[in-house]
Amino acid sequence: MANQRHGGPWDRGAADSYYGRPRSPHYFVAGTYTSAKSTDLTPEEIADYHAGYDDNERNGDKKDWG
């Protein structure tokens, strides 16, 4: 299973899905929005990002903007 740490690739993929954002593989070096953002991912990190996105899509957990 992918590392699901806050700000990591899996977490960011899940968050992008939750908020209805398009796929854009990235992660934060440490805390989300409190550290540098990286878009230079390894193949494993890209796979983790997509796994988080896909997991959230399967669960149907979406932000209610209403």
Residue 52 lies in a domain: yes
Residue 48 lies in a domain: yes
Residue 65 lies in a domain: no
Q: Which two tokens stand for residue 6?
A: 């806050």
Q: By three-state DSSP, how is residue 28 classified? A: strand
Residue 2 lies in a domain: no
22: which DSSP letter? P
Residue 46 CB: number of other CB atoms within 10 A? 15
Indicate whether 46 pLDDT > 80.
yes
Structural domain of 26: 9-59
User: What is the total count of domains within the chain?
Assistant: 1
Q: By three-state DSSP, how is residue 50 classified? A: helix
Indicate whether 1 pLDDT > 90.
no
Indicate whether 44 pLDDT > 80.
yes
Beta bridge partners of 27: 38
Residue 64 lies in a domain: no
Backbone φ/ψ region at 13: left (φ over 0), alpha (ψ -120 to 50), beta: alpha
pLDDT value for 31: 87
